[in-house]
Amino acid sequence: MGKLIYNQFDMELQPPYKAPDYKSTILRAPSKPLIITKKNLSELSGPVFKDFKLGILDHDLTKNAIKYGDPIGERIVVSGKVTNELGQPIPNTLIEIWQANAAGKYIHKVDQHDAPLDPNFLGAGRCMTDANGNYKFYTIKPGAYPWGNHHNAWRPNHIHFSLFGGDISSRLITQMYFPKDPLFEFDPIYNAIPKRGRELLVSSLDLSITEPEYALGYRFDIVLRGHNETPFENK
Amino acid sequence: MTTTNKISPQTPSQTIGPYFAYGLTPEQYGYNFKSWVDNKMVDPSKNLNTITIYGKVYDGKGNAINDAMIELWQNDGETKLFGRYGTGSDESNHFSFLTIKPNSVDGQAPYINVIVYMRGQLLHSYTRIYFSDEELNNSDITLKSIPKERQHTIIANKTSDGYEFNIYMQGLKETVFFQI
Ligand SMILES: [Fe+2]
């Protein structure tokens, strides 16, 4: 294990701000050294989701945007555990997800990819971890899509995740990938992560999560920065 | 803490990408999905002292970024608030928030935490908003730990419309970002 400084990004596992192969980082990465500061109350707290009301279909992207019938594509179920760096579960924390449809097309207005939208699929959802830090949602396996980074740049299949945890330092935006994607080796976003960290973003096919005759299951466990057992309480 | 605790490796961060809006700020961008948070952090009918904080996010060439997402986090022990807004729904790529100014905690100058996310950032950036009309800025430990010529980059200027806070990712005016 690398040396771990609690509550800081472990740069042996995390991508750098500037990764020139991913061209958009060149004009957007901070260039000056970060300032180290003491944490106050404001850094040590975050939104509380105790009384948060999810929509009934928020956790099921195969159903939350149906207009005429089921969305097209491979139905999957994604599940895992959210813990802190000591392996302690993080209960009742919100997970937000967004992704392309089976054809590799995002519903977002600026997506220029010449692929069809699915009238029955939005590609956005939410779920909450339970008392043991476990979460689960249903969706359609997203397709690969091209992007303008370089000639023939295609993103490996992925689902975008947003998580909170206990405070400002546990906040995480990431992407979940699928096992053995042949596009991994060509993707500068995935490869910006130090080698040792890459596998941590690859889900695994899991028959114990798979629902017979219904949906293949993928496991994706998430470790948020920090080590506070009780994330936070509202004042 | 006991020594038997095993350290689990942090899940690596990845970029928010250009397509977050319909998932994270859907109503702001007109998508048919309910938002759970937006830029109105307080109800103006219940708070007399609301302030507006607004600004833009600039890249290293000085262009205003139209696909950044900004989150404000504040807690002064009395009021805890959270807000979120994208820079892509306004023609000139502004963000804006309606909130209240936090109180000073432990004699420090009042401030609001800011997290900045965008395509082209594999890790999000942390900064703070201080306020130009605060005496306590002069004695604040955090501000004093920053080179003098950079302190102004995290102090929002009081204007007739509220407080203006522009974020510069790079260059001479590069905003101070924190390691948190
Ligand atoms: Fe994506």
| B168 near A CB under 8 A | no
Cross-chain CB nearest to B24 (options A14, A35, A96):
A96
Catalytic site residue from A155, A177, A218, A225: A155
Backbone angles phi, psi at B10, to 5 degrees: -60, 135
Q: For residue B180, is it within any domain?
A: no
Q: Contacts of residue B6 in chain A, CB cutoff 8 Å?
A: 86-87
CB-count burial class (<10 Å; 0-12, 13-18, 19+) for A204: middle
Q: Nearest 5°: CA angle at B41, between A43 and A128?
A: 65
Residue A67: exposure state from Cβ atoms within 10 A (0-12, 13-18, ≥19): exposed
Sequence-distant (≥ 6) Cβ neighbours of residue A50 within 8 angstroms: A92, A234
Question: Which tokens belong to B180?
Answer: 């948190």
CB contact (8 A) between residue A22 and residue B120 = yes
- Active-site residue flag, A158: yes
Cβ atoms of A151 and A188 within 8 Å: the answer is no
* Partner residue facing B74 (CB), from A4, A42, A224: A42
pTM of the model: 0.95
φ, ψ (nearest 5 deg) of residue B143: -60, -40
Active-site residue, A151 included: no
| Mutation site for B-interface testing, chosen from A7, A8, A18, A35 by largest number of B Cβ within 10 Å | A35
Q: B46 alpha carbon to ligand 1 midpoint, in Å?
A: 40
pLDDT, tens only, A138-192: 999 999 999 999 999 999 999 999 999 989 999 999 999 999 999 999 999 999 9
Q: Is A27 on the interface with B (CB under 8 A)?
A: yes
Q: Are A8 and A225 in contact (CB under 8 A)?
A: yes
The Cα A28–Cα A47 span in angstroms is 27
For chain B, 180 residues long, give each residue's pLDDT as a single digit of tens. 444 456 899 999 999 999 999 999 999 999 999 999 999 999 999 988 999 999 999 999 999 999 999 999 999 999 999 999 999 999 999 999 999 999 999 999 999 999 999 999 999 999 999 999 999 999 999 999 999 999 999 999 999 999 999 999 999 999 999 999
* A9 domain-assigned: no
How far is the centre of ligand 1, averaged over its atoms, from the C-alpha of A138 (Å)? 18
B105 to chain A, any CB pair closer than 8 A? The answer is yes
Is A233 among the domain residues? no
Distance (Å, whole) CA B59 – CA A185: 29
Q: Which two tokens stand for residue B95?
A: 């963000």
A198 as an active site residue: the answer is no
8 A C-beta contact, residue A84 and residue A226: yes
User: Is A31 domain-assigned?
Assistant: no
Residue A228 CA to residue A91 CA, distance in Å, equals 12
Tell me, yes or no, whether A8 lies in a domain.
no
Amino acid identity at A185? E
Residues of A in contact with B175 (CB under 8 A): 30
Does B180 sit within 8 Å of A168, measured CB to CB? yes
Is residue A106 annotated as part of the catalytic site, yes or no?
Answer: yes
Q: Which CATH number do you get for residue A153?
A: 2.60.130.10
pLDDT-based confidence at residue A231 (cuts at 50, 70, 90): very low
> Does B179 fall in a domain?
no
| Residue in A22, A59, A75, A106 annotated catalytic | A106
CATH number at residue B90: 2.60.130.10
The residue count for chain B: 180
Tell me whether residue B113 is in a domain: yes
Instruction: Count contacts between A and B (CB, < 8 Å).
Output: 242
User: A6, A18, A24: which to substitute to probe chain B, counting the most B Cβ within 10 Å?
Assistant: A24
Looking at residue B7, what is its pLDDT? 84
Q: How confident is the model at residue A233 (pLDDT cuts 50, 70, 90)?
A: very low
Q: How does DSSP classify residue A134?
A: E
Which domain covers residue A108, as residue numbers?
50-223
Query: Is B94 in a helix, a strand, or coil?
Result: strand
What is the span of the domain harbouring residue B90? Answer: 30-168
Is A43's pLDDT higher than 50?
Answer: yes
| CA distance linking residue A127 with residue A60, whole number of Å | 9
Is residue A108 flagged as an active site residue? Answer: no
Residues from chain A contacting residue B118 (CB–CB below 8 Å): 28
Task: Kindly tell me if the per-residue pLDDT of A116 is higher than 80.
Answer: yes
Q: Please check the confidence at residue A6 and state whether its pLDDT lies above 60.
A: no
**What is the tally of structural domains in chain A?**
1
Q: H or E element: which one contains B78?
A: none
Q: Quick check: is A163 in a domain? A: yes
The string of DSSP letters for B17-30 reads -S--HHHHSTTTTT
Confidence of residue A49 (pLDDT cuts 50, 70, 90): confident
Q: Check CB contact of A32 with chain B, cutoff 8 Å.
A: yes
Which DSSP state fits B32?
S
User: Which residue reads 């040396």 in tokens?
Assistant: A3
Token pair 């998430």 is found at A222
Do the chains contact at A174 and B60, CB–CB below 8 Å?
Answer: no
- B3–A contact, CB cutoff 8 A: no
Q: Judging by DSSP bridges, how do beta strands B167-168 and B162-164 pair with one another? A: unpaired
Is B175 contained in some domain? no
- Residue A110 lies inside a defined structural domain of this protein: yes
Among B residues 35-54, those touching chain A with beta carbons less than 8 Å apart: 36-37
Within 8 A of A109 by CB-CB distance, chain B residues are 29
Any domain includes A15: no
Q: Judge whether A27 lies within some domain.
A: no
Whether the CB of A65 is below 8 Å from some CB of chain B: the reply is yes
Whether B162 is covered by a domain: the verdict is yes
In a domain? residue B91: yes
Residue B4 lies in a domain: no
Domain count, chain B: 1
Interface confidence, given as ipTM, is 0.95
